[in-house]
Amino acid sequence: MSLAKILVVDDDPAVRNLIQRFLTKQNYQMESAADGKTAIAVFEQFNPDLVILDVNLPDANGYNLCQEMQSRTGVFVLMLTSRTDEADKITGFSKGADDYITKPFSLSELGVRVAAILKRQRVVTTAEQQRIIVDQLMIDPVRREVTLNNQSVPLTALEFDLLHFLASHPGKVWRRSELIQAVWDYEYVGDQRVVDVHVGQIRKKLGTDLLQPDKMIRTIRGVGYQFEVPENTGASNQSQP
């Protein structure tokens, strides 16, 4: 099995080198960059599985860089920043970040979060290979694609995982903590409202077509969320060809 590739982007050489040395010892293949321009150049050549990305760079905004990288390859992104405001975290998640860790941080915690993100690249089981079709919505877990009315819906990696998980269990009500455990793959220590942000982004990207996404992914007040197939539509699972 090839080593997972991680790109560290931070303008602080001490932080950059510390992370690179630590994760190299964890058997990851590492590259680094000190600014946005260099990061994009390295990104294109290195094709990383995960980018650890600082928000404040001398020539770029980390949130915008996150979006640009994910639009190219769907890469996982862990935001690393000294910003601790909740609004900053929400911005990061809404831009597609898979996780968010603030400085100062412990290397052991960073290692756990990196491993958890990369674990989502696990092999898909036979049962999970079935497409989920609800009216004009199709979720394909093998190609990791979502289409609506035959048009591609550009979800981030985490948005796809969350939508697929909910749609795989229609009718079941999930608490936010349960969704974090199931989709994030570990006990996320941050604000559980991160789930709300991702659900909101999914609804926005699905739009307001016949599916009425706010009704398909229902908010159960005081509990969490439920994927409910509208009464006037059908739902089915189809095996891959």
The domain ranges of the chain are: 5-119, 127-238
Mean pLDDT of all residues in 208-216: 58
Q: According to the model, what pLDDT value does residue 156 have?
A: 83
- Domain 5-119 grouped into CATH 1.10.260.40: no
Q: Identify the weakest region by mean pLDDT among 46-55, 97-106, 126-135.
A: 126-135
Query: Which contacts (CB < 8 Å, 24+ apart) does range 230-234 have?
Result: 230/135, 233/134, 233/135, 234/134, 234/135
With contact defined as beta carbons under 8 Å apart, do 96 and 66 qualify?
A: yes
Domain range 127-238, its CATH number among 3.10.180.10, 1.10.10.10, 2.40.10.10, 3.40.50.10540: 1.10.10.10
Return the residue matching tokens 């749609």. 167
Measured CA to CA in angstroms, residue 36 lies from 6, 33, 65 at distances of 16, 8, 7
The yes-or-no verdict on residue 213 having pLDDT over 90 is no
Over 80: is that where the pLDDT of 42 sits?
yes
pLDDT tens by residue, 154-178: 888 888 889 999 998 888 899 988 8
Q: What is the dihedral of CA 96, 131, 227, 176, to 10 degrees?
A: -40
pTM comes to 0.60
Given pLDDT bands bounded at 50, 70 and 90, which one contains residue 3?
confident
Predicted local distance difference test score (pLDDT) of residue 185: 65
Helix axes 194-206, 86-94, angle to 10 degrees: 40
Whether 149 shows a pLDDT value over 50: the answer reads yes
Closest CA to 95 of 151, 143, 36, 154: 154
Give Cα 79 to chain centroid, integer Å.
11
61 with 38: CB under 8 angstroms? no
In this model, does residue 125 exceed pLDDT 50? no
Mean pLDDT in residue range 2-7: 87
